[in-house]
Structure 1
């Protein structure tokens, strides 16, 4: 019943949200491991691309300016959220991702869930007020055209269900179309 409600919710969102060209991205990482991947939906008018990225390595040699700034930030023990965010931005510039992509129909569930991610973000942010705290969790950041819309912890079928179903739907569609996926079920923890 809950899944049926979410699909109706998604269908309504797809009728209201403009569909010319938009890029929706979910960056997924885990607090207990180095696993990290991204799901990007490049939404076009007729056919869209689903692009998946998997963290393969991280260059360890920073340029001099970045190295000096990292050393400076580490000495401060990341006193503010802004300093921590700056450190993460520097680290992200040195990450190397494997990439794979497929074409998907604009009638797919993944496309409809992406509408809901964008159009119903207020609902998701309201859920965030009652968000439980996990020490070992999945961390998801949602972006629209490169700008962060919101971030959530541990999306599941009962909390942040739209985020969960977007990720699940995208991965299942990818696994159905690719014979040798770069992202496997055990890596993603979503089936």
Structure 2
């Protein structure tokens, strides 16, 4: 028995089904494109990928790893055109793993106008980011400095003792915490 050629009705139905399927794929790709930035940020925060540090509440309890010390180095930068001086008070600290520590950074507005900035940060080596935890940091919010104003900004942090049992961090003796301040464009008010 010979099969009959597809009717125009069957072809139209298949074409319509294919079109709907392709439109669905296109919409899914568009949605994924919009969701990729927040999903990537969440991924980095959870895993420490790319040197992204962790964040903890002030009441977090961590056991110190007695006898295990590590060097923390601090780096500071401002983007070109940002009229600030920005530097750590101390460029290195030797800390006990698991102990709370505080580093102070100093920022000064060198301009004759208020300037608002926001700091981005990362940790190197990047695999140590999953174990470097900030409790309090100026980088969590924007900072506004008035003309000529100088401020001391604390960072309260600890290195999670789990770093000592991570094969990827077994040779880590020093962690560098680096900040870069960027200007925040304020909304321009119409004249």
**Higher strand share goes to which structure?**
2
What is the TM-score normalised by the length of structure 2? Answer: 0.27
What is the TM-score normalised by the length of structure 1? Answer: 0.27
